[in-house]
Each structure stands twice: as C-alpha cells, then as structure tokens.
Structure 1
Amino acid sequence: MNLYLKYPHKGSRTLRDVLWDDHSIHINRKAIQRLMRVMGIRSIAPQKKTSTPNKEHKVYPYLLRNLTIERPNRVWCTDITYIPMRKGFVYLVAIMDWYSRKVLSWCLSNTMNPDFCVEALEEALMHYGKPDIFNSDQGAQFTSTEFTGAIQTALY
C-alpha cells in the first residue's frame, strides 16, 4: 500500500518494475493486479473511453471518405490525449492540418470540459484562416454546443 501511495499514477506494470529494480522483489504483473483488486486500488491515470459521446449532442457525418486532400487548409483535425505528470495528468488538445501534418495550435487543461478545445480552435483560426472541413471524433468535447458553435461561426 505504501508503494501505491508514493506512486498513485502508476499501474501494475510500472509498480512491478519499481519492485524489481528498487526493492529486488520479483513478482509478476498478474499478482500485482490481483493484490490491487483485493485492496481496491487502481491507477489514477485516465481509463479507456475518453471519447465518450454525449447522447444529447448532434452526430455529424464523416466527410472524408474517398476525399483527396491536395492542399493546406482543406481538412483540419483534432484530438485529445493525456500526459502523465508526477502527480496526476493533464489533457492536451491539438489542432492539425491533414495535408501538411502541421500542428496549428494546442492547449493544455486539467479538466475535460470543452473550453480548452474552443481556445485551441480559436487560436488556429486566428493564425491560419479557416479550413474547408473540420474532422474530430464524436467525443463530448467536440460535439458540445460551445465547440460546434465556434466551428459553425467560423466556417459558415
């Protein structure tokens, strides 16, 4: 338990490595997983399904099927990932041009609300104009009224 309190962001693989390297305790990962389950502990890092859609938000069609992207600003895309930190993690959103693969803007946040996504979008629009198509997953941040409103205002 003390090891978990010292490293609450580490999962079973990393805890195994710490035990092997720092404490010379040779235990396999499945045993650590079982002990964590018995004690009711788990990593505080984000779990799967970070792109869960909100059922109340509109679902938009996929526009890129059979589309040839031949120039910059034709299609932009965005996604969110998380960055593990010493104590917890932060979320990173990036806006990218599909043709050039250039990151147009990015923003960090410690919450998954759509505000930091809108901020990154507005910065990209300010510096690079507007794209013909904007592509994202159907996660709640990108289908929120704040984000889709900012897209619609910029593109239409």
Structure 2
Amino acid sequence: MNAMNALVLPSPEMPAEEYAHLKTWYDDKYEAMWYYMDPKPRPCVTWQLLNDLKQFHRDLYSVIDHSDGPTLKYLVLGSNTPGVFNLGGDLKLFKELIETRNREALFEYGKACLDTMYPHHIELERDLTSITLLQGDALGGGLEAALSSS
C-alpha cells in the first residue's frame, strides 16, 4: 500500500471512519487525489463536513511532503450525492443562529467555510492542479466551493 492510499484505506494510522462526511481515493495512474463531499443528513456545508475537509487537507499535506510519498499532480473535488454537488450553507444552522441572534457563531461559520476551501484554491501551495467535478446542483457556498478550483 502506498502512502496516498493511507488516506483511503483503513490503517492503524488512519482508520476508515476518519472522514465521516468525505470519501477519498488516490488514482496511481493519473496521480490524482479525488475527494468527494458526503455530508449528512443534507448535502450542504455542515460543521462536520468542514471539519473533515480541514483534517483531509492536513493529512494530505503530511503525506505529500513525506520524502517517500507518492507524486500528486491533481486534486479533484466532487460530490458523493447523486444530482447534487452541494447546496451551500446549512440553512438549519443559519435559522438557529439568526433566531438566537448569535452573530459571533454565524461569523465563525462563514469564516470557517472560507478557511476550509482556501487550501484547495491555492492548490496546497504545491505544484499541482485543482479540479472540480461538478455533477449536479451547486448553490451558494456550494458553487463557491466549485469555483475554488483552478
């Protein structure tokens, strides 16, 4: 098993349940890392999805910076939800935060959304190409995520 597959396959270092809202796959032939959003219960930007994306980016940095790590040319973002790329912000969360007048939490959520997709946008500051596989509806922040690729 190569180092990239450690992001995909269960191992003592990284169990399969590491990403509850994200599916990953490394393609040796094309040197491409695929990651598919799989948020539950709705295909929107949940805190859980943001946390998985942040952890994935941290894990990916450490794998590709490892001296014997695999070559990575492409970083491909997609969705595991048929017909939907991402519906954007978590409207249920918006409603709760607005009703409770929790301006600070709403700001933190918005900032977390930007901070989470920034590594994809800057291609992890590595010599690679970011791609979005857009199959289905992309609304609001979901469309912004799709546009973050080069």
Q: TM-score normalized by structure 1?
A: 0.27
Q: TM-score normalized by structure 2?
A: 0.28
Give the structure with the higher percent helix. 2
Report the structure number with the largest CA radius of gyration: 1
Higher relative contact order (CA 8 A, sep 6+): 2
